Amino acid sequence: MKSLRTFLAILFTLSAMIFTAGLANAAPAAHSTCSGGSIASGTYASLTVTGACSIPDGAHVTVNGPVTVTPGAMLNAISASTVRVTGNVLVKRGATLGLGCSESMTMPPFPGGPVFCTGVSHDQVDGNIVAAWARTMFIDAVTIHGNLVSIGGGVPVTGADPAGCEERPGALNFPVKDNTIDGNVVITGWQGCWLGYIRNVQHGSTVLAHNNTASDDSMEVVTNTIHGNLVCTRNAPAPQVGDSGGAPNAVTGAKTGQCAKL
């Protein structure tokens, strides 16, 4: 019962945060818009992505305000770059966000982007990353001073081979790996091939709920350090170690639901 109350309290807080993030993104009068192509190094008051945009290796991009990835758009910053966002990052319905890169890992295929992450990034978000019915996100080696929230989104998988779903061209995967997160993490209601929460250091609670993925190796939740609670409920498949070879999660608070033994 306590874990359910925690879950509902976090969802209530994050629902309010989504509304606030939307208002914040609409407020600045001067902003930069990318409708396609590369985003150049520089300092921006805010950034709105309306097409397929990328941040290349070696770029230094500072956004002194919010970043908005509009419905159906894509921001691919899986590169050896430095990205600093002082506000919130809002990923809207059907949009895709890839942010961060570390040499220690191989990323699964990214829609419309590179298959492998081959460099080191130095990315930081001072606010929250909030995805509302987004297509997917790749978050790797990012320092997030706020919360990471994903509500709904993805695309159901039908007729795929569960053993190799995540390696198929166009597969939707949702990796959250090697990040430092000061706030809470909520990922709920996402659908796709593979989802994993691996090697993160977090100073709040994590809630993984109602996610439905096709790969039988999905929902790997391992090697995290969580200074809060780890709450997992009604995910299919249930959170597991899988073939990650990962270690048990170090959780200061309670491990409950499907993650009780992880």
pLDDT, one tens digit for every residue, the chain (262 residues): 455 455 545 554 554 555 444 434 444 435 899 999 999 999 999 999 999 999 999 999 999 999 999 999 999 999 889 999 999 999 999 999 999 988 655 556 677 655 566 778 899 999 999 999 999 999 999 999 999 999 999 998 877 677 678 777 778 999 999 999 999 999 999 999 999 999 999 999 999 999 999 998 899 999 999 999 999 999 999 999 988 889 999 999 999 999 999 9
Q: Does residue 130 contact residue 106 with C-beta atoms inside 8 Å?
A: no
Q: How far is CA 137 from CA 140, 176, 207, 225, 248, in A?
A: 10, 8, 17, 21, 24
Question: What tokens does 71 get?
Answer: 């419905």
Q: How far is CA 219 from CA 109, 226, 240, in A?
A: 17, 17, 6
| Listed residue (235, 198, 253) closest to 220, CA to CA | 198
Burial class of 26 by CB neighbour count within 10 A (0 to 12, 13 to 18, 19+): exposed
Q: Domain map of the chain by residue range? A: 2-28+41-257
